Chain A
Amino acid sequence: MWAFLSSQPVQTALIVGTCAALVSALIGVFTVLRGNAFAGHALADVSSAGGAASFLLGISPLLGFLGMAWIAAFGMEFLGVRKARERDLATGVVLGAGLGLSALFLYLDVTTTSTTGATVSVMFGSLFAISRGLIWPAILAVLAVFALVGGFYRPLILTAVDPDLATLRGVSPRWMGLLQLLVLGLAVAVCALAIGAVLATALLIGPAGAAIRLSRRPLQAIVWAMLMALAAVWMGIWMAYESYYWFSGNAWPVSFFVVALIFLFYLLAMLGSAQQRKFRYRAATALPGIQES
């Protein structure tokens, strides 16, 4: 255990992974409540183009992911993500264009800068290979997200749960939508850095989707989501570290363990809540007069 904690790549991985887990669980609950899981996934996928471009331009990958995620967010807003019927299509088209760009940048990465590992590290992440210089930017991004969400907590929740009621109360859905996309972009960038652009969706919607099943109160759901995300990231890092010894020198990727654990938690939460509902239903039918709440 001591060897695990004293290794420097592990420390960096733990810090960045914790940042990603906290921020994605917080934003994930809003995203899932709004039914925006596809848009969140598309933002993460498109941000891979930014990650690929950062190798070409020689800038920090976090900036690359963030820039492209924001561009995609504005693109979707522009193409009409607000109308529910058109939302799916506009998201799909932006996603297609973004993936095309990503293909081009990755190709140029390989041919011009001879960084052959770019495809893997951008798409699937390599938590143990993150440079220490990225710790502070990641922490800053997390603080910014927490400050923004903390400041606008009530209007954000209201818009996510019931947009019409929010408009009646004088909350501008436009501004809240924009704020949500900006914050989502920040969260996606940190997640993409940690477990890879195409896998970032796991952290974003998995714990949140499970947490919403476990609790009906938004604040409780956020806490549940954070606990699950942290457990998945920490256990994933530990298992990937140990897998070097389990499989005689062939370590399995961290991102695989994190994604598999999140999927497991989601399944458990689903089965657990279904069981609970059946139990309540049986109690309600056995004792007439007691209604299911």
Chain B
Amino acid sequence: MFSSFMINTWIAGTAIALVAAFVGYFVVIRRSAFAAHALPLGAFPGAAAANLLGVNPFVGLLIFVGIGMLLLRQLARMGRRDVGTGLLLVLFLGVGALFLSMTNEYAPEVFSLLFGEMLGVSKADLWPILGICAVVSVLMITIYQPLLLDSSFPDLAALQGISGARMDLLFLSLLALVTASALPVVGAFLVFTLLVGPPAAAQALSRHPLRSLLLAVVFAECSIWLAIALSYWSNWPIGFFVGMIGAGLFTLARSYRSWSQRQRGARRVAVP
């Protein structure tokens, strides 16, 4: 399991899970799960186009995810935010399907871009991933305070001179960067699962920002390690394990929270 061809997979998975948990924490408190779902799929045609033209996939990914982010903001301003997000998502998917239909290896490509190809991370893939993860972590630490304030109390943040529109743009750029780095390895759908599942479970367990963020990181790392191991043993796709673990964690955390609330309620009744 830790043989030489798996080492890169373990390193990439660990780095991606770390930044996914950071950004995912803000996805959860800003309630922007739909945007987190749409952006990875916006990057999908980028990978397909790069595949078609034979250029480095990261170039295609970054270009398309950038276009997707700008269009997303424009469409959200024009009409209903959720309708705009949904339409942009399907448009990009449709374009991706078109690009892929022009190549010869249509079906296997579609599957690996959507659901990930965890067992094939080369050394050349590894460096861009680690670089982007480092950039995202540094950015995250520098803007942590204003972003947290803007996400939890937008009015208070505006009073302190933090522009909500600028924070939105920064947040979406971070999301886009994480997406572009993670997509070739873990697939468009799995990026979203990692971004939402573990942080949502952590949020249900703790309201304290830093504690909840740490919990999210722990959950994300555990789920990706478990998923890599299970996928290695069973040969089943890694996306299946990450999705199931995420849903399981969320359900467990939610039931634990309602159980402890009931306990506290019972104690309050007993000791008036």
Which A residues are within 8 Å of any B CB, using their own CB? Answer: 32, 35, 37-38, 40-41, 79, 85, 88-89, 91-101, 103-104, 106-107, 110, 116-120, 123-124, 196, 198-199, 201-202, 205-206, 208-209, 213, 250, 252-253, 255-256, 258-260, 262-263, 266, 270, 274
Answer yes or no: B141 CB below 8 A from chain A CBs.
no
A89 contact from B97, B200, B244, Cβ within 8 A = B200
Q: Is the CB of A209 within 8 A of B115?
A: no
Contacts of B190 in A (CB 8 A): 99
**B20 vs chain A, min Cβ distance (A):** 12
Contacts of B101 in A (CB 8 A): 252-253, 256
Count A-B pairs with CB separation below 8 Å.
Answer: 186
From 192 to 239 in chain B, residues with beta carbon under 8 angstroms from any chain A beta carbon are: 192-193, 196-197, 200, 203, 236-237, 239
Chain B residue at minimum C-beta to C-beta distance from A28: B83
- Which of B11-19, B54-62, B103-111, B149-157 forms contacts with chain A? B103-111
Interchain CA distance A85-B31 in the complex, whole Å: 8
Contacts of B79 in A (CB 8 A): 209, 213, 270
- Which of B85-93, B126-134, B160-168 forms contacts with chain A? B85-93
Q: Is the CB of B241 within 8 A of A100?
A: yes
**B5 vs chain A, min Cβ distance (A):** 20
Which B residues are within 8 Å of any A CB, using their own CB? Answer: 28, 31-34, 36-37, 41, 78-80, 82-87, 89-91, 93-95, 97-98, 101-102, 106-108, 110-111, 114-115, 189-190, 192-193, 196-197, 200, 203, 236-237, 239-244, 246-247, 250-251, 254
Q: A96-B242, A119-B107, A262-B90 are in contact. List 11 more A-B contacts (CB 8 A).
A: A89-B28, A92-B197, A96-B193, A99-B190, A100-B193, A100-B240, A103-B115, A103-B240, A252-B98, A262-B87, A266-B87
Chain B residue at minimum C-beta to C-beta distance from A42: B37
Contacts of B87 in A (CB 8 A): 201-202, 205-206, 209, 262-263, 266
Known: A100-B193, A103-B189, A262-B87. A38 touches B97 (CB 8 A): no
Q: Is the CB of A199 within 8 A of B240?
A: no
Interchain CA distance A172-B34 in the complex, whole Å: 28
Contacts of B106 in A (CB 8 A): 120
Contacts of A88 in B (CB 8 A): 31-34
Contacts of A266 in B (CB 8 A): 83, 87
